[in-house]
Chains A and B, each alone.
Chain A
């Protein structure tokens, strides 16, 4: 939605026969004052058309930065899991006085959680090109009701 055309470009279209710019609304407006619903639907149609035109080109340009963002996210996710596992283990160890034991156990559990999170974020958003596409995909999945394979899909086989 951020890539709207300027007002002038939206309000006029190029007329093939006359070879000039004609106001797009002129014909309808002469018949009757346009209702808001009508305006809304026309706006939506125009936006959809614009998205179709720009979608492919923009997606290609966005792929790189989205990949970098995903990589960043994956790295943070991995480290966060290990850190939280270590923190919990060390805290419990200090509580019970069993120093190296729980720390080691929870470190491994935390690492497993980190890898799991990485897997989820890569599966949920990795296949999509940009965040917008990921969002759309997620939306479709939610509509299907197959929540299992969503971004955080729990209980996914394998």
Chain B
């Protein structure tokens, strides 16, 4: 039985090395390219007919657009409109990464913390830059709650600062942990199916249930990642 974590191994497909830095085209990169290509095909093919009454594909493309647009409108407000392309790209990239990972023999790039951390850090950096651009030095008010006595500042400001800095970590770890744990569970149960022979029907039924759950988690985690990005964006735009 193969090790349950073997599926997360990154293998170089086209080895490239420039200046001693390994920038090989790996299976992780391959599936990122695949997911971007799939998103492009899905959206462009979906809206090509531009029908008044949408067909299946157009309906799905419109549904995903509408979903993210509503999420931004509800959580960020009218100013969030201009950040729609980024949030939509983020959502689709994470969603397709999670869903492609559910196909057997594929690679789930969202199960690598460096990928999720890079995404979360881009969100964090972007939100901070937007906050500073909109509020200038007033943005530092963010780290001191309204109405708190000034004497508590030496304690409260570091606490708020750390709580702010821990955002990208919790955002990244959440997505990474959910995807990794889910895939390990699937693999372990699949190992039981093989090992138990005829009695393996029981874990097989369980496996089917867990697979359904994993699909749900794949969508839910993409949603959670995006909605938290929206909430952070809201905090930076409308400071309270």
Contact = CB atoms under 8 A, between A and B. Distances in A.
**Do A and B form a real pair?**
yes
Interface string A66-96: 0001001100110111011100100000000
How many of chain A's residues touch chain B, expressed as a range? Answer: 35 or more
Nearest to B177: A76
A113 interface: yes
B166 A81 contact: yes
Given A88-B162, A113-B162, A154 B240 contact: yes
B146 A142 contact: no
A73 B165 contact: no
A152 B145 CA distance: 11
Given A80-B173, A154-B146, A65 B166 contact: no
B160 interface: yes
B170 A117 contact: yes
Given A116-B159, A148-B240, A155 B146 contact: yes
Contacts of B147: 155
B238 A84 contact: no
Nearest to A88: B162
Interface string B162-186: 1101100110011001100000000
Interface residues of B, number: 37
B169 A80 contact: yes
A57 interface: no
Q: Which of A85, A138, A154 has the most CB of B within 10 A?
A: A154
B198 to A, nearest CB: 32
B74 interface: yes
B146 A112 contact: no
A121 B24 CA distance: 40
B178 A113 contact: no
A36 B134 CA distance: 38
Contacts of A109: 155, 158-159, 162
Contacts of A110: 162, 166
Interface of B: 63, 66-67, 71, 74-75, 77, 142, 145-148, 155, 158-160, 162-163, 165-166, 169-170, 173-174, 177-178, 213, 216, 220, 223-224, 227, 231, 234-235, 238, 240
10 contacts: A76-B170, A81-B163, A109-B158, A109-B162, A117-B170, A131-B224, A135-B75, A153-B240, A155-B146, A155-B147
Interface of A: 1-2, 65, 69, 72-73, 76-77, 79-81, 83-85, 88, 106, 109-110, 112-114, 116-117, 131, 135-136, 138-139, 142, 147-148, 150-155
